[in-house]
């Protein structure tokens, strides 16, 4: 067998995160011999979660990361998830240098499973208010799909993932195929009732989350079990209680016998054959030896994560595509967007002091978008969703140590309820929000560095102001006190919801991908990670990535059978 034959597969998937894991599961499940490329090390479910069962006293530095180590993670350490328990799942700055034309935190997790081990797990469906938003509000381009196109695929992935949630009957947030929901605390319910009475179009619900409040047969079949409500998900869950590539899609793919995993494989570019007029494979830099390798397949799914996918496609240059693979439109790397997490507002409540929260839950309350839904009512476009949590804590416990802490915990002297609401605002994709390759600087693997030029704009500032004003009014109506509006100053990228650059659309002149995430000008390449998104909505995007991926694979297989690929 020649080296080329040895390196030839039916399909190649670049990236093993949430969308890449689904690409691998679906392609292998349909019988295709599939190569999964990941630029980092392998992380095996259960055995490679080193801190999963640690107690607080098991950490040498009490959960803090020593300064000399933290200095190696100057970008990642800005993220709330960076602790002594999770730093091994995040990426050092020197691993892939990039250029910030405007301040941007590129939070990366280079290992098998990627950020699926670290995500917040909220899984809200999008509605037609989201898919029709650009056409209605005059930004970006019209989505080539509507809710009815993706609804069956939402159901398909929800059943496998295991989504805990309540059927709330809201137009703005379609119900799904849920397992049993978690519950709101009494103060969250109080807040929800006050809001409902004063603002009938605003709703406080329990957030839908990818945690197994119950484990059904489909979950048990890949070795997962019920969530233990430990709320230590970001360490990796040995129970498989939350969804990740490592615990769910990759085990399913391995069971088919059709999956080959190659780690330490940095995708350099996609190989385009001008005689065949299609992509034929992927060039890879071996992260250990820095040698170039080539792998071949008739179908390629790009799921490297938004910025990395843009980089790979921009670097995939040929005579046919001098500006990047499939980039006849010049759209590649433009119209980047993200979610704004700058808004936060806290308060206290001295009611319901006969109650306290018991145990833990792996999710929060959720307030779906209520601004500019049915009509344009503000001086900014689009809106924001919000996460809500309310609980009582031991008074002043965070200031105590030793015997005083022990006594405080034993006596359980509880203070007022503490309420926290965080904003997740939709930002507008703009032509000047770009990522592009630097012409001079390369990373340590010889790959061009990415120049990132993405920032907040006036629309975001107006939205932040409105968030603080609206929730101050709602807090006051609920009898909350000590209200503190906060601008978190979180930079673009820091929230891990970057999107765009390889957007879907109806017109090849203004988009890169069609309604099935297939490249307009390179038919056997599909892109289903966050880079494919035309707009960002206010809902968490991961469930939509999964549904789009499963739908795209189904289409690719049908096209392959028709010999169109």
Residue 350 has pLDDT above 80, yes or no: yes
Give 50-58 contacts, CB < 8 A, sequence gap 24+: 50/88, 51/84, 51/85, 51/86, 51/88, 51/235, 52/232, 52/235, 52/236, 52/237, 52/238, 53/238, 54/85, 54/235
List the alpha helices (DSSP H) in 34-95.
67-70
List C-alpha distances in Å: 321 to 272, 324, 504, 533.
9, 5, 19, 22
Tell me the average pLDDT of the chain. 96
| CA 134/CA 151 separation, integer angstroms | 19
Say if residues 356 and 375 touch (Cβ distance below 8 Å): no
* Strand blocks (E) in 410-563: 414-426, 434-442, 448-453, 481-487, 525-527
| CA 120/CA 210 separation, integer angstroms | 9
Over residues 150-178, the pLDDT tens digits come to: 999 999 999 999 999 999 999 999 999 99
Tokens for 431?
Answer: 């032509």
Provide the whole-model pTM.
0.97
Tokens for 151?
Answer: 């609804």
Say if residues 345 and 473 touch (Cβ distance below 8 Å): no
Q: Tell me the Ramachandran region of residue 2: left when phi exceeds 0, alpha when psi lies from -120 to 50, beta otherwise.
A: beta
pLDDT band at 397 (very low <50, low <70, confident <90, very high): low
Of 110, 237, 106, 67, residue with least CA distance to 162: 237
The percentage of the chain sitting over the pLDDT mark of 70, rounded to a whole number, equals 98
The percentage of the chain sitting over the pLDDT mark of 90, rounded to a whole number, equals 92
In the beta sheet, which residues pair with residue 455? none
Residue 286 has pLDDT above 70, yes or no: yes
Angle at 553 between CA 548 and CA 559, to 5 degrees: 125
pLDDT, position 395: 67
Residue 61 has pLDDT above 80, yes or no: yes
Say if residues 373 and 201 touch (Cβ distance below 8 Å): yes
Residue 403 has pLDDT above 90, yes or no: no
pLDDT band at 398 (very low <50, low <70, confident <90, very high): low
Tokens for 1?
Answer: 């067998």
pLDDT, position 399: 67
Count the Cβ atoms, other than its own, within 10 Å of residue 426: 28
pLDDT, position 417: 96
- Find the mean pLDDT for residues 356-380: 95
Say if residues 180 and 210 touch (Cβ distance below 8 Å): no
């Amino acid at each position: 067998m020649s080296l080329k034959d040895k390196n030839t597969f039916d399909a190649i998937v670049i990236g093993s995160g949430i969308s890449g894991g689904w690409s691998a599961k679906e392609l292998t499940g349909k019988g295709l011999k599939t190569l999964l490329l990941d630029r980092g090390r392998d992380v095996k479910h259960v055995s490679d979660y080193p801190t999963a069962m640690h107690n607080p006293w098991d950490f040498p530095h009490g959960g803090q990361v020593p300064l000399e180590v933290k200095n190696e993670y100057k970008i990642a350490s800005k993220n709330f998830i960076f602790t002594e328990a999770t730093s091994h799942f995040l990426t050092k700055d020197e691993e892939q240098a990039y250029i910030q034309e405007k301040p941007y935190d590129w939070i990366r997790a280079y290992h098998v499973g990627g950020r699926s081990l670290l995500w917040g797990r909220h899984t809200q469906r999008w509605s037609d208010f989201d898919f029709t938003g650009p056409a209605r509000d005059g930004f970006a381009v019209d989505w080539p799909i509507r809710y009815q196109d993706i609804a069956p695929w939402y159901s398909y992935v929800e059943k496998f993932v295991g989504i805990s949630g309540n059927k709330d009957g809201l137009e703005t947030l379609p119900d799904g195929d849920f397992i049993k929901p978690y519950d709101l605390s009494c103060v969250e319910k109080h807040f929800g009732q006050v809001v409902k009475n004063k603002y009938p179009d605003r709703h406080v619900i329990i957030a839908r989350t990818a945690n197994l409040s119950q484990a059904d047969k489909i979950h048990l079949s890949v070795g997962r079990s019920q969530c233990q409500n430990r709320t230590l998900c970001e360490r990796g869950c040995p129970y498989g209680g939350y969804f990740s590539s490592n615990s769910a899609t990759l085990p399913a793919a391995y069971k088919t016998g059709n999956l080959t995993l190659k780690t330490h494989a940095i995708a350099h570019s996609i190989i385009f054959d001008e005689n065949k007029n299609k992509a034929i494979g992927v060039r890879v830099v071996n992260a250990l030896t820095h040698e170039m390798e080539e792998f071949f397949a008739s179908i390629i799914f790009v799921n490297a994560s938004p910025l990395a996918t843009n980089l790979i496609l921009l670097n995939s240059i040929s005579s046919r595509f001098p500006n990047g693979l499939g980039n006849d439109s010049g759209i590649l790397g433009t119209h980047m967007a993200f979610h704004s997490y700058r808004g936060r507002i806290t308060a206290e409540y001295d009611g319901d002091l006969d109650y306290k929260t018991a145990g833990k839950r792996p999710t929060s309350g959720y307030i779906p978008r209520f601004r500019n839904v049915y009509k344009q009512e503000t001086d900014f476009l689009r809106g924001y969703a919000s996460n809500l949590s309310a609980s009582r804590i031991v008074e002043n416990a965070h200031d105590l140590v030793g015997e005083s802490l022990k006594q405080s915990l034993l006596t359980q002297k509880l203070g007022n309820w503490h309420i926290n609401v965080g904003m997740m605002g939709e930002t507008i994709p703009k032509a000047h929000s770009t990522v592009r390759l630097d012409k001079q600087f390369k990373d340590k693997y010889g790959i061009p560095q990415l120049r990132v030029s993405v920032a907040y704009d006036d629309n975001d500032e107006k939205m932040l102001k409105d968030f603080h004003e609206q929730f101050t009014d709602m807090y006051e109506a609920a009898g909350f006190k000590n209200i503190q509006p906060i601008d978190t100053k979180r930079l673009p990228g820091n929230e891990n919801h970057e999107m765009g650059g390889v957007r879907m659309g109806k017109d090849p002149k203004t988009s890169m991908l069609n309604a099935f995430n297939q490249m307009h000008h390179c038919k056997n390449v599909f892109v289903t990670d966050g880079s494919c998104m035309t707009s960002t909505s206010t809902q968490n995007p991961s469930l939509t990535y999964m549904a789009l991926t499963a739908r795209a694979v189904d289409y690719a297989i049908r096209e392959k059978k028709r010999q169109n690929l």
